[in-house]
Amino acid sequence: MNRKRVVIAGLGDAGVLAAIRLSGYADVVGISVKPALVSGQELGVRLARPDDWARDYWIPFDRFRRLDRVRTVHARLTGLDLAARTVLGERADGAAVAEEYDALIISTGVSNGFWRRPTLQSAGEVGAELRAAHDRLAAAGSVIVVGGGAAAVSSALNMATTWPRKRIDLYFPGRSALQGHHPRIWRRLHGRLTGLGVGVHPGHRAVLPDGFAGEEITGDPVRWSTGQPPARADAVLWAIGRVRPNTEWLPPELLDERGFVRVTPQLRVPGHPGVFAVGDVAATDPLRSSARNRGDALVARNVRAELGGGRLGAYRAPTRRWGSLVGAQPDGLEVFLPSGHSFRFPSWSVERVVMPWIVRWGMYRGVRENDPLG
């Protein structure tokens, strides 16, 4: 009996986990613009402590034991032929890619700042970009962070922890930050920020220069449409949440009015059997929460059910965002629940239990040791 072929378009966090779950069931082909899992998570740790971030969030594909049976293709996606059931792409040398599928999982994610872009990069280019952002912020005597989401709050907190003598200010448009989270979470993190000396400035809506999407660290004064005088710092980090789905390669009929992939509760693209979407690119709910709530497990299970004639399960989205928000800190890892309450893993357990056992073995089913920076 011929094994089915599953193509996974995009090997970010959700795509890698789906590939791991399907690797023993089908012939899996993953297409990625990076030669590794380069996670979009934990921006604050990435900027302030790049070695720590790279250890846990930049993982070459050949280190994942369960990806040994997955063929990875390093290419950018250029099109999808629905009639021929073929994904099209282009390698760095210009060679064309055409991968046929029995089932397709679209998990190309979103662009959001310089740390999340669908650019075709080598390992050296990933490392250079990582170092350049860190070095720019490390050299600055003062930093402005613009934005009120988790990326902005995490960046301000992690930089203040790593560089306690640096002047850091966080500006955001609302009365409080973290609007998608329980208010209790912002109250707690607000206290931590002010305790670290971070200036917290609500009610500031930035004026963006024409054509600027926040994809670089700048040094010009930040002007406000809300009437306050311009703010100045040596470096300005824009974490303004201008999310754009990486769907330019897809037929428009698959997309909603904002460019995200339309899906049913089963994460299946309506009208196209065998085509699924998961993660930030999938229009599951206003928070597009299948990226963080075991959507990878559901899409893998539903692909198997579709190909094998089984019953598909439905995705149920949470009403609030949740998670660690600021990443591991010197005193451990605090995880916030949708209710706003939290629990903490002490630092020793993060190093000895959470990362090696819960993440590398539990989530990823085994990761070989290696340091991409070494």
E-assigned strand segments in the chain:
5-9, 27-32, 36-38, 58-60, 70-74, 76-81, 86-90, 96-100, 103-106, 110-111, 142-146, 167-171, 199-201, 235-238, 244-245, 275-277, 333-336, 342-345
25 and 81, same structural domain?
Answer: yes
Q: Tell whether 80 and 216 lie within a shared domain.
A: no
Rounded to two decimals, the pTM is 0.93
What sign does the dihedral 183-189-194-198 (CA atoms) show?
Answer: negative
* Residue after which a domain boundary falls, among 279, 297, 321: 321
Does residue 249 sit in the same domain as residue 156? no
Whether 112 has a pLDDT exceeding 90, the answer reads no
Q: Are 94 and 10 in a shared domain?
A: yes
Q: Which residues contact 191 (CB under 8 A, 6 or more apart)?
A: none
Rounded to whole angstroms, the Cα distance separating 21 from 87 reads 21
Is residue 332 a part of any domain in this protein? Answer: no
Q: Are residues 304 and 254 in the same domain?
A: yes
| The pLDDT value given to residue 1 | 54
Domain count, the chain: 2
- Phi, psi dihedrals of residue 93, rounded to the nearest 5°: -85, 5
Tell whether 136 and 223 lie within a shared domain. Answer: yes
| Average confidence (pLDDT) over 357-363 | 92
DSSP state of 241: -
The least confident of 18-22, 165-169, 248-252, 339-343 is 339-343
Q: What is the pLDDT of residue 370?
A: 67
Whole-angstrom distance, CA of residue 133 vs CA of residue 130: 6
Q: Is residue 282 part of a domain?
A: yes
For residue 219, the model assigns a pLDDT of 94
Q: Has residue 326 been placed in a domain?
A: no
Rounded Cα distance, 321 and 337, in Å: 8
27 and 172 housed in the same domain: no
Q: Evaluate whether residue 328 is within a structural domain.
A: no
Place of tokens 């063929």: 71
**pLDDT per residue as tens digits for the range 127-173:** 999 999 999 999 999 999 999 999 999 999 999 999 999 999 999 99
Helices (H), the chain: 13-22, 43-48, 50-57, 123-139, 150-162, 183-195, 295-308, 347-349
How many C-beta atoms surround the C-beta of residue 182 within 10 A?
19
Shared domain check, 247 and 184: no
Mean pLDDT calculated for residue range 189-212: 93
Q: 182 lies in which domain range?
A: 125-238
% of residues, the chain, pLDDT over 90: 85
Please check whether residue 292 lies inside any domain of the structure: yes
What is the structure's pLDDT at 136?
A: 97
Which pLDDT score is estimated for 75?
A: 98
Identity of the residue numbered 315: Y
Task: Single out the residue in 205, 238, 271 at which a domain terminates.
Answer: 238
364 located within any domain: no
- The pLDDT of 283-298, averaged and rounded, is 88
CATH number of the domain residue 149 falls in: 3.50.50.60
Percent of residues in the chain assigned helix, strand, coil, to nearest 5: 30, 25, 45
Same domain for 68 and 209, yes or no, is: no
Question: For strand 27-32 and strand 5-9, is the pairing parallel, antiparallel, or unpaired?
Answer: parallel
Of 3, 115, 137, nearest to 70 by C-alpha is: 3
pLDDT score recorded for residue 329? 92
Residue from 334, 337, 338 nearest 320 by CA: 338
Residue 262 shares a structural domain with residue 176 = no
Residue 276 lies in a domain: yes
Query: Does the pLDDT at position 374 exceed 80?
Result: no
224 in the same domain as 247: no
Tens-place pLDDT, residues 69-89: 999 999 999 999 999 999 999
Q: Are residues 10 and 118 in the same domain?
A: yes
Q: Is residue 81 part of a domain?
A: yes
CA dist., res. 267 & res. 279, Å (int) = 10
Inform me whether the pLDDT recorded for 320 exceeds 90. no
- Of the three residues 175, 203, 238, the one that is the final residue of a domain is 238
Q: What is the rounded CA–CA span in Å between residue 265 and residue 175? A: 34
Does 373 have pLDDT greater than 60?
no
The model's pLDDT over 18-60, given as tens digits with 9 standing for 90+, comes to: 999 999 999 999 999 999 999 999 999 999 999 999 999 999 9
Mean pLDDT of the chain: 94
Average pLDDT over residues 264-282: 97
Question: What is the predicted pLDDT for the residue at 289?
Answer: 86
Instruction: List all residues 6 or more positions away from 90 whose beta carbon is below 8 Å from its beta carbon.
Output: 75, 76, 78, 96, 97
Which range has the worst mean pLDDT, 37-41, 145-149, 251-255, 321-325? 321-325
pLDDT category at 266 given cuts 50, 70, 90 is: very high
